[in-house]
Chains A and B, each alone.
Chain A
Amino acid sequence: MKKFISALLCVSSFSFASMIGVDALGEEQIAGGSAAMAGRGFAGSAKTGDAEGVSVVNPARQAFDSKVSFNLNFLLDVSTADRSNSHFTNTNVSLPSMNLTFPMNDFGTLGFALWQHYSAALREDIENEEENWNAEIEYQSSVYELVPTYAIRLPFFRAISLGFSAHFVMGSFNRDLTLGPDVSAVAEDDSWATNDADVTDHVTGDWKIKNSAYFTFAAQYRGRMASYFFSFSTPYTLKNELEYNFRFSETDTLAPTKHTRNIKIPAMLATGVNYRINKRHNVMADVAWRAWSRDIENAAGSWNMSGVTKTQNDFNISVGYQRDGSDIFYDSYWDRITYRAGAWYKNWYVNDVSEIGGSIGAGFPLGRKGTMLDLAIQGGVRLTDDDRNWSESFIGIRLGLVGVSNWGKTRGQ
């Protein structure tokens, strides 16, 4: 199991591709980043069903599950940043989430998710003698959450469920700026001393949460046609304990300067609706909202890098459509496929950054036991209006593997 988890963490050390906010928290993977959600524009946290898995926004949903399900998601993301005829591209592969739900009939449903909530990844080498560029830039930051969830349907009002989840935060931050010398300010006779003298501005540290965890409370109503949810996530403070150092080699004995940045993440309110039309057709819409009151301290600590990332109230509005695949094995394969489409508008936590995206997706049944391969293709733009961040266009492919099983149940049940 340990090996499995470390292999997963290794894969996921490659993270999302956006270059916005790399010095703050990086890109946020909304709604758990599952391929199924992404296929319908990140809408549909109110949609119930065994193949839906854990929703980190709406833990109450899983109370309606009747089968054990496992879900593992991959993302391949390509972002291109543009400004006045200049552009560059960053590609990454990551593992945004995995989750397991375990229904226990009248005793409710237990769930467990591993979620890469925020991530920044960048690795570039630049050498340009004319403009005196001689650098290697590397960012690796991942804020993970281990999320155990519990949800139960109310005893008499069976259409209503309550859910609860705790979010245990962990992760690491690493930034290396490896730089060559610029000897323009040094007398010609003295420049020899800098031959082969690359210096790395090294910052490393852990992500923690100030108190042991933060929590999400949710309520869900499942009607014949319409389902709703409402959730509240508590505010919390992320602690990033950093060590700053200059490195010439791995064997240096310099003592680092230590600094802890505390990032106050505001409470989140989320709500959503799913409306079922004609049995298998669903339209859905979700909204999530957070009011940021404080700027985020950047890792920066040097050069001319900005000390803070200014924040704004962030929200995410998404709309989606899903045609559920037939669960009758003898129907045609095309009919058994789940089709999805959606769009979203997102205000980032980074000031003056917004994102418009759209996606299409499909769920392909594999065999008769309920295993499914979800595929989503997403694309869009991130618009910015400041000097530092560039606008970006992005495309991404997500793959999700869903396994549904009848563990713990006899054939008759």
Chain B
Amino acid sequence: MSYHFGRGREKLIPYLLLLPGIFFYLLISVGPSLATTVYSFTDATGIRGAPIHWIGLDNYKEFLLMGQASRDNYGALGRTLIFSFFVTTIQFALGLIAALAVNQRLKGSNLFRTLYFMPVILGAVIQGLIWSLFLYPMGGPMAKILSLFGARSEFLGGQPVEAFAWVIIVQIWANMGMTMVIFISGLQTIPAELYEAARIDGANARQVFANVTWPLLTPSVNTNLLLNIIGSLQAWQLFLVLLGYRNGTQVLGYVIYAQGFGQTSGSVTSAFRQGYAAAASVVLFLLVLVIGMTVQTFLRRREERILGS
């Protein structure tokens, strides 16, 4: 590969231009990540000036091997994977359907694009508030709908499985707009002539989708899948806002927050365990890394097979 920045010292120009970005990336992202790894081997509380002791692998042993708490951590790990699977697949499918629908040149499609995307710009607190009101068990809209069928539910405050399912729904609602936008951008790069040619050849709508749209959406598919997987594996804010620290609902991201900031008790603030939370963060990072790399490898091969290298 060659570039056009001349010869000799001028070759340095692109590297110099990259330096500020690299510096801030290292300072804001890589540095704290490495520091988190270092902290995971300590009993740090997060209080500056408090003594920090090197405790080796104790945090990891506690997180992975110590008593029922470690088995509860595996439960959180399992829920993280379940959450990620349902969020990724459903959000992906709904985002694609919505993109195909609003990408038509129909009256009002811009309005629907805005409506579908709107939840993305709301923060987790606002999203949580909206759904808490919607699912208010004493006369909220959903309770009224259920009452028409003679049923009732505690929704977010009831059975952990049901509460967990509602968080999946809210997560999808909150982020589906972003998936849709990425798909729309992919759809708009597909040349109109290809659709025209396919129709002239007699292809029906299903065949056009399977043989034109879907293959040429591959870059958007890859981007969406990776973003959805990584985003859902790291999710925790909606769990905090909608459920708080409730047995049978925690995912790994929320366990990290709760341990790091003393929110594990429910009624009193317990000690901040940021060394332990750092160890849990490293475990989550490894989980995201393994799943992310595996999926990325699969997607790259698929892309090469469909679009060529």
Check if A and B associate.
no
